[in-house]
Amino acid sequence: MGWAEVRAAAIIVRREYQLACRAPAFWAVAALGALVAVWRASTGGTTAALGAYQAWQMVTYGVGALAILLAGAAAARDRQRGATELVLAKSGGSSGGLVAARFVGTWLSMLSIAAIVFAASSLGQAVLGGTPWRLGPYAAGLVRTAAPIALATALGFSLASLLTTPLAAGVAAIYWIVVPLGRSYLPTALDLTLTQHWREAALLAAGLVALAACLHARAIRGERERRAIGGWLSVLLLAGAGLSVLRTVHRGEDGLVNADPVLWAMASQTAIDGRQAPGFWLRDGEGRLVDLDQHRGRPVVLAFWGPASRGSVRALSVLGELAREHGEEGPACIAVCLDRDAGAMEGFAREAGPEVTVAWDRGRHFGVGMEWADSPVAVSYDVPAVPTVFFLDGERRLVERWRGEERLDGVAWRVARLLEGR
Amino acid sequence: MEIEIRGLRKVYPGGVVALEGLDLTIPPGVFALLGPNGSGKTTLMRILATLLEPTAGEAYVAGHDVRREKGAIREMLGYMPQEFGFYPSLTAYETLDYFGLLCRMNDPKERRSRIEQSLANVNLGEYAGRKVSTFSGGMKQRLGIAQALLNDPRVLIVDEPTSGLDPEERIRLRNLLVELAGGRVVILSTHIVSDVAVTSEGMAILHQGRLRFSGKPAELLGRLEGRTWIIDIEEEELSRVREELFVTGVFRSATGMQVRVIEDEMSHPGGYQTAPTLDDAYVAAMNQEVGSVGMG
């Protein structure tokens, strides 16, 4: 592929982007998303960074699939009416490259919807005194996940659009079946592939099958051999996506916690006294979701601890006593364990008693140089050492933070004041 | 500047031979490619437009090889395919702006000037701001010509531009092609013989991928000079006449029927000589292999 083709592809991507943004449906989806984001922010349901993550989810899981279908339908339509001839006569290149460029343009327009929703969410947070967010970690996380997803999707899309060659069918099948299986043995090399995001993979596979059906019906109708290849490819795509899903479920991984964007979203928040505390979605020892928003309306005592620090483990018993003393009328007690090994957490959690929610803040492949490199929530709360205890009021505003084991004895006193509204 | 084609052959996957050993020289001016559907006209044009690789043989556009110098050819070439589509939600101006960018017209002022000129050339200047979806078939064809003219091409290739147009639009488009021909090579493919008669200085007739004739329309007509006849017949005589003579046309007259035939000598009573038309010549050329008339 020469420079001229690259340049032409960029022009085509830009034009497709403009065309997609011009469609009334684009603005309808963006407006709806923005309204929902502002509403979520106004009700304190999320913080800006997690709102961004939700927008990202919306794009990748929902709108992204829609983009695939839209671009596929457009490509099939263009092929049918010969629109590609005019472009190729000027730009050179291949019809497959043209289709891929069209897809990327549509995809970018969908990302714009996410950006609009994110902006609305951020605006809502800013106006309502929510948690500020740092762009750096979040942007790095998005780029880290968005680029491979977009590239892999574009690749799959263009292959599906070129089902007229057995070679393309073979390559697509290899990608969707061998890569998910091979990832067990090549985790580092393939970590940037789409397959770590199984929901996208499943959706994309379905989209590709739909595309294939569309192309068969319209563009290569009557060519039995090619239809058969496309049919088998569709089966292989679905099987690949199914295997990917089954494998993830079998391994007990949870997409919400393990997916990279949510870690980066949690880490990109900043805890500031008097403002809304960073939100998080963690898991307890039994895999249940621990969401800070679940405790809205109650004060919260949030303690960070680690099994390796004997002093910090005492935070668990302090929280247990507090919870038993005040019951439902008292604060919600959450103890966040900072450790790579969840197994170490469970024994201590049993000693704390069922009244204390013990969550595990374990990240993965997180930023180098951060103090709690595996713990994005600890990063967002700027936890310098364990134990550190945070006091949150019923509106989830950060009232105060205490660091060090020696201050654990005063927690009960501080909670009493917190319950008095001070 | 001219186009040289030597021994050009194109075989599609599946073994369909679209072009077989084609030798042709196309001089400046309007040059018509005439032939029925499937004769290889579109294949030849797509090869010259660098959209298709030939299987064998050579083709040079102004000295540039269609295999190895695609970029150089595209810069001097304007192409309007037989079937094409535009983005319906774009205006005519936006459509040309898009194609202008693809043509490497990076300077916005120059691009604007070229777009306005191209639209004016095809009489679409006043419709620049209208969406393509509102255009008639003829207007879309003219917009197709406008996009082909954007880069002021030295070679303009238009594939079946007049098919599907109403008579007025057809004449307008024909005239436009003649106007555009000055200094350019304009290759026009068609299966409408009257288009050739009016527009073209040179022509080639293709049949099943092979060249049947190339030269000036007058040369083709000259080969039938003194061999074209009109015969007045009764209606019931028609089938017999068809069997005995090479008939190029049948018409109704006030007294019965008239048939146009091509024969070296007329044995049928009541036949009289007439001037050959391109329709006669085309039919004769197409039937070369079935034997009644040899075109040489």
pLDDT tens, residue by residue, A310-361: 888 899 999 999 999 988 888 999 999 987 777 778 888 887 888 899 998 8
- pLDDT mean over B63-79: 90
Asked if residue B117 and residue B240 are part of one domain, the reply reads no
Question: Closest approach of chain B CAs to the CA of A84, in angstroms?
Answer: 8
- Under 8 Å between Cβ of A153 and A103: yes
Task: Assign 3-class secondary structure to B232-251.
Answer: EECHHHHHHHHHHCEEEEEE
> Do the Cβ atoms of A91 and B84 come within 8 Å?
no
pLDDT tens, residue by residue, A51-60: 777 676 666 5
Instruction: Name which of B70, B90, B102 is nearest A8 (Cβ-Cβ).
Output: B102
Instruction: Name which of A11, A19, A23 is nearest B102 (Cβ-Cβ).
Output: A11
> Do the Cβ atoms of B81 and A88 come within 8 Å?
no
- What's the pLDDT score for residue A399? 93
Asked if residue B243 and residue B215 are part of one domain, the reply reads no
Q: Long-range contacts: B252-258, Cβ < 8 Å, 24+? A: B256/B232, B257/B232, B257/B233, B258/B230, B258/B231, B258/B232, B258/B233
Interface A-B: count of C-beta contacts within 8 A: 59
Asked if residue B214 and residue B181 are part of one domain, the reply reads yes
Q: Which residues of A touch B87 (CB under 8 A)?
A: 19, 83
Q: What is the spatial distance between Cα B296 and Cα B284, in angstroms, rounded to a whole number?
A: 11
Asked if residue B259 and residue B207 are part of one domain, the reply reads no
Instruction: Name which of B71, B81, B98 is nearest A92 (Cβ-Cβ).
Output: B71
Asked if residue B28 and residue B72 are part of one domain, the reply reads yes
Asked if residue B193 and residue B286 are part of one domain, the reply reads no
- What's the pLDDT score for residue A192? 34
Asked if residue B253 and residue B214 are part of one domain, the reply reads no
What is the per-residue DSSP string for chain B? --EEEEEEEEE-TTS-EEEEEEEEEE-SEEEEEE--TTSSHHHHHHHHTTSS--SEEEEEETTEETTT-HHHHHHTEEEE-SS----TTSBHHHHHHHHHHHTT---HHHHHHHHHHHHHHTT-GGGTTSBGGG--HHHHHHHHHHHHHTT--SEEEEESTTTT--HHHHHHHHHHHHHHTTTSEEEEEES-HHHHHHH-SEEEEEETTEEEEEE-HHHHHHTTTT-EEEEEE-GGGHHHHHHHSEEEEEEE-SSSEEEEEE-SS--STTEEE----HHHHHHHHHTGGGSS----
> Do the Cβ atoms of A87 and B90 come within 8 Å?
no
Asked if residue B217 and residue B230 are part of one domain, the reply reads no
- What's the pLDDT score for residue A96? 64
The confidence band for B293, taking pLDDT boundaries of 50, 70 and 90, is: very low
- What's the pLDDT score for residue B79? 92
Q: In total, how many domains does chain B have? A: 2
Q: Which residues of B touch A86 (CB under 8 A)?
A: 79-81, 84-86, 99, 144, 147
Q: Which residues of B touch A225 (CB under 8 A)?
A: none
E-strand stretches of A264-397? 281-284, 289-291, 300-305, 332-337, 357-360, 388-392
> Do the Cβ atoms of B70 and A90 come within 8 Å?
no
Look at residues B196, B221, B246 and tell me which one is the last residue of a structural domain: B221
- What's the pLDDT score for residue B22? 94
- pLDDT above 70 as % of chain B: 97
Torsion over CA: A94, A100, A106, A112 (sign): negative
Question: Closest approach of chain A CAs to the CA of B79, in angstroms?
Answer: 7
Residue for token digits 């950060």? A398
> Do the Cβ atoms of A81 and B81 come within 8 Å?
no
Asked if residue B210 and residue B168 are part of one domain, the reply reads yes
Q: Which residues of B touch A19 (CB under 8 A)?
A: 87, 89-90
Look at residues B200, B221, B242 and tell me which one is the last residue of a structural domain: B221
- Under 8 Å between Cβ of B261 and B251: no
Residue B93 in this model has a pLDDT that exceeds 50: yes
Residue A172 in this model has a pLDDT that exceeds 80: no
Which residue from A minimizes the CA distance to B80?
A86
Which residue from A minimizes the CA distance to B79?
A89
Highest mean pLDDT among A144-148, B41-45, B49-53, B74-78: B41-45
pLDDT tens, residue by residue, B200-219: 889 999 999 999 999 998 88
A6-10, A99-103, A140-144, B242-246: segment of lowest average pLDDT: A140-144
The per-residue pLDDT of chain B, averaged, comes to: 87
Q: Long-range contacts: A345-349, Cβ < 8 Å, 24+? A: A345/A285, A345/A307, A346/A285, A348/A307, A348/A313, A348/A316, A349/A284, A349/A285, A349/A316
Q: Which of A7, A17, A86 would best serve as a mutation to test chain B binding (most B beta carbons within 10 A)?
A: A86
Instruction: Name which of B82, B89, B102 is nearest A22 (Cβ-Cβ).
Output: B89
Q: Which residues of A touch B79 (CB under 8 A)?
A: 85-86, 89
Residue A168 in this model has a pLDDT that exceeds 60: no
Q: Which residues of A touch B74 (CB under 8 A)?
A: 89-90, 92
Q: Which residues contact A214 (CB under 8 A, 6 or more apart)?
A: A72, A73, A76
Which residue from A minimizes the CA distance to B90?
A19
A247-261, A291-305, B177-191: segment of lowest average pLDDT: A247-261
Residue A379 in this model has a pLDDT that exceeds 80: yes
Chain A residues at the B interface, defined by Cβ less than 8 Å, are 4, 7-8, 11-12, 15, 19, 22-23, 78, 81-83, 85-92
CA-CA distances (angstroms) from residue A107 to A22, A66, A143, A144, A145? 14, 9, 14, 16, 14
Which residue from A minimizes the CA distance to B153?
A90
Look at residues B221, B244, B262 and tell me which one is the last residue of a structural domain: B221
CATH number of the domain encompassing residue B201: 3.40.50.300
Residue range of the domain that includes B264: 224-293
Highest mean pLDDT among A131-140, A260-269, B125-134: B125-134
pLDDT tens, residue by residue, A382-405: 888 889 999 999 888 899 999 988
pLDDT tens, residue by residue, A334-344: 999 987 777 77
Which residue from A minimizes the CA distance to B48?
A89
Asked if residue B247 and residue B217 are part of one domain, the reply reads no
Q: What is the spatial distance between Cα A60 and Cα B192, in angstroms, rounded to a whole number?
A: 53
CA-CA distances (angstroms) from residue B7 to A52, A81, B27, B168? 63, 32, 18, 39
User: Greater confidence, A233 or A192?
Assistant: A233
**Parallel, antiparallel, or unpaired for β B29-34 and B185-190?**
parallel
Asked if residue B86 and residue B125 are part of one domain, the reply reads yes
> Do the Cβ atoms of B84 and A86 come within 8 Å?
yes
- pLDDT mean over B138-161: 89
Instruction: Name which of A7, A78, A92 is nearest B74 (Cβ-Cβ).
Output: A92
- pLDDT mean over A289-295: 84
> Do the Cβ atoms of B87 and A83 come within 8 Å?
yes
The confidence band for A132, taking pLDDT boundaries of 50, 70 and 90, is: confident
Asked if residue B235 and residue B263 are part of one domain, the reply reads yes
Q: Which residues of B touch A12 (CB under 8 A)?
A: 102
- pLDDT mean over A260-276: 79
Omega of the bond leading into A387 within 30 degrees of 0 (cis): yes
> Do the Cβ atoms of B99 and A82 come within 8 Å?
no
> Do the Cβ atoms of B103 and A82 come within 8 Å?
no
Question: Closest approach of chain B CAs to the CA of A109, in angstroms?
Answer: 16
Instruction: Name which of A23, A85, A91 is nearest B81 (Cβ-Cβ).
Output: A85
